[in-house]
Amino acid sequence: MIKKTKLQTLFIGLLGLLGSQHVVGQCTNLAMAFDGNGDFISRDLTTTTPVMAGNIDFTIEAWFYSSATSVSTSCIGNYKRLIGLVGPPGSGTRLEVGECGGELNLYWNNSTSSSVVPILLDPNNIRNNWHHIAVTRNSSTNTVKVYLDCLPLTFNGATTGAFNFSELRIGRWGGGGSPPDEWEGRVDEVRLWDRERTSTEICDFKDCTLGGNSPDLVFNWTFDQTPAVVADGPNPLGTQAVDMTSNGNDGTLVGFNLATVNSTSNFVCSDIPPAYFVNISDQPSLFPVSLAVICSGEAMHFCAVNQNASGPLPPNSTVIWEYNDNNTGWLVDPNLNPTYSGYLCFGVPGGVITANCGATGYVDRLYRAIITKPMGNLTCTYTTLETGFRIYCPVTNIQVNTVVNSPTPFNGAFCEGPVNIDVSLSSTDPFVIPPAIPPTGDLSIQWCINGVHDPTYDNMVNFNYSMPATPTSLCFEAKVQNFVCSPVTAKVCFNVDPQPVCGLIDGMSTNLIATPNPYAYLICPGDDAAVGMVNPAQFVNCNAVWQFSFDLVNWQNLGASNALQNTNILPQTFPPNNPLSPYLWPAGANCIYYRIECRPLSYPNSGCDPCYSNIVEVCLLPPPANGLISGNQQFCSMTGSTTLTVNPYNSANTYSWYLNGVGPVGFGQNYSANQPGYYTVVITDAYGCHSVVTPPFYVEECIIVPLISCPIDNPCACDGLPITLSGCDSYDTCGGTGPYTYTWSASNGGPGTVSGPGGCEFTHIPDPVVGTTYTLTVCNSLNPSCCATSTLFIKPCN
């Protein structure tokens, strides 16, 4: 059972008041209202069955309620008759009970005596409360007894002599009309018996509605003539107080305003306090609490309690439980009958007392028990006091719906920052949509944003949320409670990603060659390289994915989350054109670029854009510029070498000289070649990445062969005779065609004559005594330093 809050306790008190109220036209227990101005009920006793005229025994009883306001307790002109028995015209016979200033009085008169003035029966003020009165007559003893609420009243003065009555009036005496002397209030359950009933009989029957027939019951006016009449009218056809026995002794309604709607001179709802009341509680608990509100389906305890007497019901009694929802009429409760028929007290388990709620979310239900006891030929039916409570229906289903207005497009997760969302609640319960919040009902809707109640949106079924979203989630939770019923929650959450933050990356391996530009490197083709995060802690709120590109436009994923990324072989060239390699460099590409795309946590369904690190450029180190060998392609065998030079020259590179592919035979920009053959230079860059070979440069050895001959045979020197020597047949191995330079000399000195092409002939007179040695020096004019010498001795003629 749900505990009651102060608000609920106040509400319970209000419902307790409401539960005892009647709604016009809806009650079935009726009474007659008298306005004190001409309203009365008449019955001719000479025509009743059995005939009640004459000096006979009788008991007349009724429930009454005085609403008179006169102050004086004097009955002169102020005697408001409730019961009036009168004799035939002119007899002066009267027996009247009424009130004067709230005090109950008796007046009687017959042919032999009278009370002269009304006799005070009870000094207590009987106004503004329901009371039961019974007046009995014993013709044998000429005694009259009056019982008020089951208690006999003693009064001064006794009735004497016989009474000969011919008419009964309720609300007026037997004389003419006199408004101050007419009943003002209500009357119910009027019965006339043809014998004097005992006090026990009176008490046993007073709190119930009689049904059936009994030989001693003359008539029984209950005024419960529904549906022929309704409370407060209009009742244009309700001219009789219908006798509920089969005797047909109806009373005639005189002076009532039956044709109009009113509650002062008409049939009205009877609110006589029943003998039984219904207590509905949360038993069996240690301290049971009477219930005024429940949630549909809760366990309850019902008990019909007799306020006037305790004890079990007599045999063959019946108890029927009825309910009335929203004052739409009383129905036998199929949930309590027949299971609990015949029981005054019982517990009802959960799931039995339920209601179908409409737009208000609750049903105002009244319960009562109809208790019927057999009393001889009659039945005595007790209708308990109606006890009401409100049944709230539990919320059975709710759903939180959202429409994201911005940012758009929405991929399923937000990025931290402003959002604009339409939030709504849906349900098939008619009291949730539209919501039965006060004053329509007592539904409450609480919204929690990220688990924190925000009263801004209380009792709303839709609202716009335009606030910054903070990581890591944005949740809208609705807690819907229909007053005392358990709350039901529905929740929808979105992931909220923090804004990714990127740090720096850089080259991390020693084989990367720095350039003047930051984050730009060179590398030898085919080498491994490594790039990495400068500080991994700088990459936050995201998942780091390494990417590479060859054109800074199209990026491909390489690896995720690792702080250090191995680039593998750059470029991927083995085996050539390997179609399986994802890192195959496109034709013409010389550089590769690396970056980190740090993706938001909900990627690819995030509203955050990835952040990007700086870009690290790794370019293939280009081969060094090739060179050409220059220099004299010939060297003279006599002088020994020629200097060769390679250009262009970069001191950072290594220049290795090779002869006929063998070497190296030297290093540097220059080389002194002293052997014939093909010379090449292997140029290697400073990092050992690339080597290029210059075109071969051929160097030949140049050998001069001077030949001295005598064009005229003159093998010996004759005294005084000149000889002519020729060096014109000299040659060389340099492949040159000349011209040569010829230099002649004679050992004996003396002038000579040089002739021939280039001076290749020499005419001279040899020494006839000792002979002469002639020397010829032949030089290649293309390489003047390359010369060779030959000698010839001319002996004297003997």
Q: Is 328 exposed, middle or buried (0-12, 13-18, 19+ CB in 10 A)?
A: exposed
Q: Residues 609-630, buried b or exposed e (16+ Cβ, 10 A)?
A: ebbebeebbbbbbeebeebebe
Is 457 strand, coil or helix? helix
Residue 419 CA, distance from chain mean position: 15
* Beta strand pairing call for 723-726 and 716-717: unpaired
Which residue bears the tokens 């029927």? 320
Higher confidence at residue 290 or residue 469?
469
- Supply the pLDDT for residue 561: 65
pLDDT of residue 10: 39
CB 85 within 8 A of CB 163: yes
121 touches 155 (CB < 8 A)? yes
Q: Which CATH architecture has domain 30-269?
A: Sandwich (2.60)
Domain range list for the chain: 6-20+273-392, 30-269, 399-497, 505-620, 628-702, 704-796
Closest-CA residue to 467 (of 518, 413, 405): 405
DSSP 505-545: EEE-STTPEE-SSTTEEEE-TTEEEEEEES-GGG-BSSEEE
Q: Which residue, among 751, 754, 746, has the nearest Cα to 771 in the 3D structure? A: 746
pLDDT band at 32 (very low <50, low <70, confident <90, very high): very high
Confidence (pLDDT) at 301: 92
**Residue 329 has what pLDDT?**
87
- Write the pLDDT tens digit of every residue in 179-220: 889 999 999 999 999 999 999 999 989 999 999 999 999 999
Identity of residue 364:
D
Which pLDDT belongs to residue 586? 80
Closest CA to 706 of 749, 738, 754, 746: 738
Averaged pLDDT score across all residues of the chain: 88
Distance CA(422)–CA(446), nearest Å, equals 16
Where in 600-690 does DSSP place strands (E)?
A: 611-612, 616-620, 628-631, 634-636, 642-647, 654-659, 662-667, 670-673, 677-684
Q: Which are the contacts of 378, defined by CB distance < 8 A and separation ≥ 6?
A: 205, 210, 211, 212, 213, 214, 217
C-alpha distances in angstroms, 464 versus 17, 402, 418, 521? 42, 10, 13, 54
Task: Give which of 244, 247, 246 is closest to 211, Cα–Cα.
Answer: 244
What are the helix and strand counts (H, E) for the chain?
Answer: 2, 62
Domains 628-702 and 704-796 share a fold: yes
Residue 98's identity, in one-letter code, is G
The architecture in CATH of the region 399-497 reads: Sandwich (2.60)
Identify the DSSP state of 487.
Answer: P
pLDDT band of residue 395 (cuts 50, 70, 90) is: very high
Predicted confidence band at 14 (pLDDT cuts at 50, 70, 90)?
very low
- DSSP states of 566-609 as a string? EEEEES--SSTT-TT-TTPPPTT--EEEEEEEEE-TTTTS-SSP
Whether residue 726 contacts residue 709, with contact meaning beta carbons closer than 8 Å, is answered with yes
| Beta strands 520-523 and 616-620, pairing class | parallel
Rounded Cα gap, residues 137 and 115, in angstroms: 16
Local structure of 217: helix, strand or coil? strand
Range 60-78 average pLDDT: 95
User: Which neighbouring-strand residues pair with 597?
Assistant: 545, 612
Residues 332-354: pLDDT tens digits? 999 898 888 888 888 999 999 99
Report strand pairing: 387-392 vs 293-295.
parallel
Is residue 751 pLDDT above 90, yes or no?
A: no
Give the ranges where 163-215 is alpha helix by DSSP (H). Answer: 199-206
The percent of residues in the chain predicted with pLDDT above 70, rounded, is 91
**pLDDT tens digits, residue range 694-721?**
999 998 888 888 899 876 655 666 777 8
pLDDT of residue 590: 87
Q: What is the rounded CA–CA span in Å between residue 15 and residue 385?
A: 14
| Tokens matching residue 325 | 């929802």
* Higher pLDDT among residues 113 and 504, named by residue: 504
Distance CA 726, CA 222 (A): 182
DSSP-derived secondary structure for 113-161: -B-SSPEEEE-S--BTSEEEEEEEEETTTTEEEEEETTEEEP-SS---S
DSSP 201: H
Sign of dihedral through CA atoms 143, 148, 152, 153?
negative
Q: What is the 3-state secondary structure (H, E, C) of 368-382?
A: EEEEEEEECCEEEEE
For 492-504, what is each residue's pLDDT tens digit?
999 999 999 999 9
* pLDDT on residue 24: 38
Q: Could you confirm whether domain 6-20+273-392 is CATH 3.40.720?
A: no
- Say if CB 253 and CB 41 are below 8 A apart: yes
CB neighbour class for 542 (10 Å; exposed up to 12, middle 13-18, buried from 19): buried
DSSP 3-state of 646: strand
How far apart (Å, rounded) are the C-alpha atoms in residues 80 and 125? 14
Does residue 725 carry a pLDDT above 70?
Answer: yes
Q: What is the CATH number of domain 505-620?
A: 2.60.40
Q: How far is CA 714 from CA 726, 748, 773, in A?
A: 12, 18, 14
Mean pLDDT, residues 52-63 taken together: 94
**SS3 of 755, please?**
strand
Q: Which fold has domain 704-796?
A: Immunoglobulin-like (2.60.40)
Provide the pLDDT confidence category of residue 9 given band limits of 50, 70 and 90: very low
628-702 fold: Immunoglobulin-like (2.60.40)
Whether residue 261 is predicted with pLDDT greater than 50 in this model: the reply is yes
Q: What pLDDT score does 13 carry?
A: 43
Structural element, H or E, at residue 295 = strand 293-295
pTM, full prediction: 0.68
Q: What is the pLDDT of residue 545?
A: 93
